[in-house]
């Protein structure tokens, strides 16, 4: 029997089909590896071994009975803990939701269950998905399987670390400004941010509703495409999901897009880009040229306003979305909210309760965003900040539209640096925000992006290549990514985790 924890999801499907391994054996192998290694990696907040095994056995029974099984039958999938799972804890990495059990289920979770995937556990994240390292989680940081002294990136760092450490073959994350692509890059795996509207956001705890999108992680492009095909599609429960047919992403995956024109984004090679990352990305571009792609220089002139615009739009929406956590209906409720000062005595008890609950429930980064966003939206300042940011957002989108008239896919680094050490950026919000410099514009424009492994630094840290495609061109994006993968073996490298 193969070692299921060294196999891709696609090959595990074939092995089950051929009767060489059962869903239960696959599930046990991953649970055993989690047991052995997750104490070091800390990718998971919770693992439900009993439920996972029961689901796996049910798949085996149905297969034995000759019944049809779903597209992910018997494949363990790790879930970021900001996706609602009915009746089960969904914490968003926050004390605010430490005891929250949603009475409903995210559409994506329902689709995974319907495809007979095995939900193996919920993964760690920066609180409410705000961050780039998982250091903002109220439950401790996850570690990068390539170097346990470094962060896995974030905010979907737990999901990326789980796949990189072979604790699950597939994982689901969310990307508001880079939270799938950046941790995928830092952990040496594939991560895809779908077009805004491609995947239903119903049941994804909202951070910034006009930017959030759920997407897949896998070891290779095929596995990532497989998972995207299961979760994509219009959903009546999410009015922003779009009624575009979901293509069969696997059908023509190995066909290189004809006459592929790649655009090398000039602004993605500026100050702050690590030399080893730059060298690996330029080498990847040469691989594309050898494969017959035409590479052109293109410009996205408003890129430099991406971070400022994102850090107004995202906090503005966050301040509104997080207003619901006040201890009345949603979220942690403070036990003690007695007035401590004369000034507080004049505040009505209900308001004091809300103030104490929010002070206790939220961590410092979330509070910072709520304050930034509230300020950016406040009367008198909205025109200077929020409304300006919306205009910049339009210009950024126009830049992409113009670039995609010249080329099919844009290319550049995913993250300016490889994985950084704990604490290295945590004390400096701006330094942390700059790790999203190449990813946030994708979300502002609503287009699709993927990060694929394209190298290792001398210190054996993974490097990610980012490819971007127009809205709803995920199929082109995946096929383009596959061109690189066929010519290289970076996606097959694994970290050396001592057991
Ligand atoms: N790191 C970015 C932020 O902190 C993006 C987060 C995300 O995509 N969820 O907002």
| DSSP 3-state of 465 | strand
209 class by beta-carbon count within 10 Å (0-12 exposed, 13-18 middle, 19+ buried): middle
Q: Which residues of 377-415 are buried (b: 16+ CB within 10 A; e: fewer)?
A: beeeebeebbebbbebbeebbebbeebbeebbbbbbbbb
> How many domains is the chain partitioned into structurally?
1
CATH number of the domain at 108, please.
Answer: 3.90.1300.10
Q: How far is CA 156 from the centre of its chain?
A: 5
Does the beta carbon of 125 lie inside 6 Å of ligand 1?
no
Active site residue 80: yes
Residue 316 is assigned to a structural domain of this protein: no
DSSP classification of residue 121:
E
Distance 414 CA to ligand 1 centre (A): 14
| DSSP 3-state of 186 | helix
DSSP classification of residue 381:
T
Of 129, 194, 433, 440, the one to substitute when testing ligand 1's pocket (max ligand atoms within 8 A of C-beta) is: 129
Does the beta carbon of 177 lie inside 6 Å of ligand 1?
yes
Does the beta carbon of 151 lie inside 6 Å of ligand 1?
no
Active site residue 451: no
Element (DSSP H or E) covering residue 163: helix 157-164
pLDDT, residue 498, reads: 75
Range of the domain at 191: 7-260+475-492
Residue 301 is assigned to a structural domain of this protein: no
- This prediction's pTM: 0.98
Quick one: tokens of 485? 């993968």
Residue 27 is assigned to a structural domain of this protein: yes
Residue 193 is assigned to a structural domain of this protein: yes
pLDDT, residue 406, reads: 98
CA distance 455 to 465: 9
Residue 185 is assigned to a structural domain of this protein: yes
Active site residue 435: no
pLDDT, residue 454, reads: 98
Distance 34 CA to ligand 1 centre (A): 27
CA distance 95 to 361: 5
Residue-level pLDDT, tens digit, the chain, 499 residues: 689 999 999 999 999 999 999 999 999 999 999 999 999 999 999 999 999 999 999 999 999 999 999 999 999 999 999 999 999 999 999 999 999 999 999 999 999 999 999 999 999 999 999 999 999 999 999 999 999 999 999 999 999 999 999 999 999 999 999 999 999 999 999 999 999 999 999 999 999 999 999 999 999 999 999 999 999 999 999 999 999 999 999 999 999 999 999 999 999 999 899 999 999 999 999 999 999 999 999 999 999 999 999 999 999 999 999 999 999 999 999 999 999 999 999 999 999 999 999 999 999 999 999 999 999 999 999 999 999 999 999 999 999 999 999 999 999 999 999 999 999 999 898 889 999 999 999 999 999 999 999 999 999 999 999 999 999 999 999 999 999 999 999 999 999 997 6
CA distance 101 to 363: 20
Element (DSSP H or E) covering residue 218: strand 214-218
Quick one: tokens of 110? 């329902």
| DSSP 3-state of 269 | helix
Of 176, 207, 316, the one to substitute when testing ligand 1's pocket (max ligand atoms within 8 A of C-beta) is: 176
Cis before 99? omega within 30: no
Residue 233 is assigned to a structural domain of this protein: yes
Does the beta carbon of 136 lie inside 6 Å of ligand 1?
no
CA 129 to ligand 1: nearest atom: 9
Residue 412 is assigned to a structural domain of this protein: no
Residue 161 is assigned to a structural domain of this protein: yes
| DSSP 3-state of 337 | coil
CA 310 to ligand 1: nearest atom: 10
Scan for tokens 């996606």, then name that residue.
Answer: 491
Q: How far is CA 17 from the centre of its chain?
A: 30
The backbone torsions φ and ψ at residue 298, rounded to the nearest 5 degrees and listed phi first, read -130, 160
Sorted by sequence, the CB contacts under 8 Å of residue 384 that are 6+ apart come out as none
């Amino acid at each position: 029997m193969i070692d299921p924890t060294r196999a891709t999801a696609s090959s595990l499907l074939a092995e089950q089909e051929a009767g060489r391994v059962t869903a239960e054996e696959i599930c046990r192998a991953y649970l055993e590896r989690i047991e052995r290694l997750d104490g070091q990696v800390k990718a998971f907040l919770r693992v439900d071994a009993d439920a996972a095994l029961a689901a796996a056995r049910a798949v085996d029974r149905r297969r034995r009975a000759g019944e049809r099984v779903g597209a992910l039958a018997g494949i363990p999938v790790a879930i970021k803990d900001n996706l609602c799972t009915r009746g089960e804890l969904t914490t968003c990495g926050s004390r605010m939701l430490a005891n929250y059990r949603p009475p409903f289920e995210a559409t994506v979770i329902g689709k995974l269950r319907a495809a007979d995937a095995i939900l193996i556990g919920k993964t760690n994240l920066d609180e409410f998905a705000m961050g780039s390292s998982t250091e903002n989680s109220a439950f401790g940081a996850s570690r990068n399987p390539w170097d346990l002294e470094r962060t896995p990136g974030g905010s979907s760092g737990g999901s990326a670390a789980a796949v990189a450490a072979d604790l699950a073959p597939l994982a689901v994350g969310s990307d508001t400004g880079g939270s799938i692509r950046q941790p995928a890059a830092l952990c040496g795996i594939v991560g895809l941010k779908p077009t805004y509207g491609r995947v239903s956001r119903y049941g994804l705890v909202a951070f910034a509703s006009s930017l959030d999108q759920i997407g897949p992680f896998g070891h290779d492009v095929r596995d990532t495409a497989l998972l995207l095909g299961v979760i994509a599609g219009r959903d009546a429960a999410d009015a922003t999901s779009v009624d575009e047919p979901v293509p069969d992403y696997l059908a023509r995956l190995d066909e290189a897009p004809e006459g592929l024109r790649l655009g090398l984004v000039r602004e993605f090679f500026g100050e702050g880009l690590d030399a080893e990352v730059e060298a690996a990305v330029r080498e990847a571009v040469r691989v594309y040229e050898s494969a017959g792609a035409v590479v052109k220089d293109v410009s996205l002139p408003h890129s430099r306003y991406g971070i400022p615009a994102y850090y107004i739009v995202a906090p503005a929406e966050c301040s509104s979305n997080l207003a619901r956590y006040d201890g009345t209906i949603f979220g942690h409720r403070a036990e003690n909210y007695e007035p401590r000062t004369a000034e507080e005595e004049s505040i009505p008890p209900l308001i004091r309760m809300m103030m104490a609950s929010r002070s206790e429930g939220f961590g410092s980064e979330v509070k910072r965003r709520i304050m930034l966003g509230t300020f950016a939206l406040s009367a008198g300042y909205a025109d200077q900040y929020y409304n300006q940011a919306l205009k910049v957002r339009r210009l950024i989108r126009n830049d992409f539209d113009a670039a995609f008239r010249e080329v099919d896919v844009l290319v550049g680094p995913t993250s300016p640096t490889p994985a950084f050490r704990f604490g290295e950026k945590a004390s400096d919000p701006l330094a942390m925000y700059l790790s999203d410099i190449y990813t946030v514009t994708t979300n502002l424009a609503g287009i699709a992006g993927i990060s694929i492994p394209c190298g290792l630094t001398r210190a054996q840290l993974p490097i990610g290549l980012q490819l971007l495609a127009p809205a709803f061109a995920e199929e082109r994006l995946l096929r383009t990514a596959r061109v690189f993968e066929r010519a290289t073996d970076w996606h097959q490298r694994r970290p050396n985790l001592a057991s």
